[in-house]
Structure 1
C-alpha cells in the first residue's frame, strides 16, 4: 500500500532551521494546537496528498549514477552539501506513519534527521528514537508549565502533560535538543519565562544544547513584535545561555 504524506511544502536548502547544518525542510500539514498567533496557520489543516516515493524523488532527484541535485546544486558552491533533513509543520509528528516513513528514507540515505515539534505526540518521538532515526529535536515550549498558561497559549486543554512527556523522552534517551520559545508581547511573560527556565533546570537535561528566544511576528500586523533589545534583556534574566532569533521566513 502506498504511503501518502499530507505535504505542506518543501524548502530544498536551509541554513536556518538547523543552525550549523545545511538541511532540506519538509513541512507536514495538521496540528492539534490553535495558538492565537500561529506563524504557519495555513498548515493547521488542509489536504495536499503526495505519495512518499514522489516526495523522495522531488527531494532527491536522480542524476546519472543516482547523485541528488541537492548534494551538488551549482558549480560555484559544490562544497555546500545537504547533510540533514528537518521535519516541520504544522506539527509533523501528528502524521505518525508518514513521519516514520520519511525518517527511514532519510536514514537510508545517510542523512541526519531533525524534528521541529510542539511536543504533543511523545509516542511518535519514542518510535523515532527506537528506530534510531532521530538526530536532533527542536522542541517548542509555548508557555509556563502550568495548565492555565498552556491553555491560553495553545487553545486546547491537557496539552501540557504530553509536552512534558516528550521532554522526558528526549532527556531519557539523551537525544540532542534545542528548546525554542517564541515571545509575543506579554506571552509568555517574564515570570513565565523564569518558570520555563526552572523547569529546564529541574529536569537537568544533559543533552540540552541550546535555548532560543524567538521573536514572534504578528500574522496580521496586530501588534509590534517584541524588540530584539527586549529579547536580550529577557534572556539575561534566565539561567541558560540564550540565543536570539528573528522569525521572518514563511512557508513556501
Structure 2
C-alpha cells in the first residue's frame, strides 16, 4: 500500500478514543484548501499492512483511524488494515470523500469499520469548481449514509465552510441531503494551512458566524456540531 504518514497517538481524530492514524496516499479530488495535499502526493512509502502496525508503538492507542488522501482508492489496503485492527480489538474509523460507496458498503457489511466520517464539500453544483470532481456525488453520499444506518455504523457528515466560495444556501442543501446521518459537523476554514496560495488569502468566518451556520443545519439534522479552532460546540 502507498502510505504518506503515521501518527502513533491522536486524541482528536476518533471521538472518545486515543487513536493511531494512518494516512494513505493519493486523492481523486483537488481541493485548494486541503492541508494534506503536498504530504499525500510527495511523501509516499510502500508498506504492507503488517509493516504499518509493526512500525507503531500502540501502547496507548485503543482505536485506528484510516485517513488520506482518499483511502478507498486503495480498497485492499484499507481492508487489510481493518482486519489487523480488529485482531487487536480496535474500533476503526474511516475518513472518506464519498466517491467510492461500493468499497465502504463492503467494509460495512463485513463489520470491518465502526465509524465513517464523510466529507461533504459543498452544495453539489459547486463540486466541480471546488474539488474538480463531478460524478453524481450526492447519490454516492446517500448510498453511504443508507448503508451505515442499515448496519448500525456511526456516520458523521462534515463540511469545511469556505467563505466566498460557499454561502448559507450550501449548508441548507447539504443538511437537507444528509439529514439521516448520526452527526453533521461544520468546520471552520483554516486558511493558514491551505495548499493553494490563493485560498490562503481567504479569511475564515468568526465563531459567531459559524454558530449561525450550525443553527441553519439544525433545522434539518438532529445532531449538529460546529468545530472552531479551539472548540467543538453542540447546537441545541
**Normalising by structure 1, what TM-score?**
0.80
Q: Deviations over 1:179-208 (max 9, x none)?
A: 11111103431011011111123xxx2xx3
> How far does residue 171 in structure 1 lie from its aligned partner after superposition?
2.7
Q: Residues 7 and 49 of structure 1 are in contact (CA less than 8 Å); yes or no, is this contact kept in structure 2?
A: yes
Aligned to 2:58: 70
Query: What is the CA RMSD across the aligned residues, in angstroms?
Result: 1.9
Single out whichever of 175-184 and 161-170 deviates more from structure 2: 161-170
User: Matched residue pairs, number?
Assistant: 219
1:84 touches 1:113 (CA, 8 Å); kept in 2?
yes
What is the rounded CA distance, in whole Å, between the counterparts of 1:179 and 1:116 in structure 2? 10
Distance 1:127 1:113 in 2: 14
Please list every run of at least 4 consecutive aligned residues from structure 1 whose deviation after the TM superposition is greater than 4 angstroms: none
Structure 2 match to 1:246: 228
Q: How does 1:63-212 map to 2 (within 5 A)?
A: 69-71=57-59, 81-144=60-123, 146=124, 148-160=125-137, 161-201=139-179, 205=180, 208-212=181-185
Provide the residue aligned with 1:57 in structure 2.
Answer: 54
**SS at 1:45 equivalent:** helix
Separation in structure 1 between the aligned mates of residue 148 and residue 129 of structure 2, nearest angstrom: 25
Q: Secondary structure at the match of 1:162?
A: helix
| Matches of 1:131 and 1:137, distance apart in 2 | 14
Q: Specify the alignment match of 1:215 in structure 2.
A: 188
User: Is the radius of gyration larger for structure 1 or structure 2?
Assistant: 1
Higher helix residue share: 2
Residue correspondence of structure 1 range 10-21 to structure 2 within 5 A: 10-21=6-17
Relative to the length of structure 2, the TM-score reads: 0.85
Unaligned residue ranges in structure 1 (runs of 5+): 60-68, 72-80
Q: Which residue of 1 aligns with 2:37?
A: 41
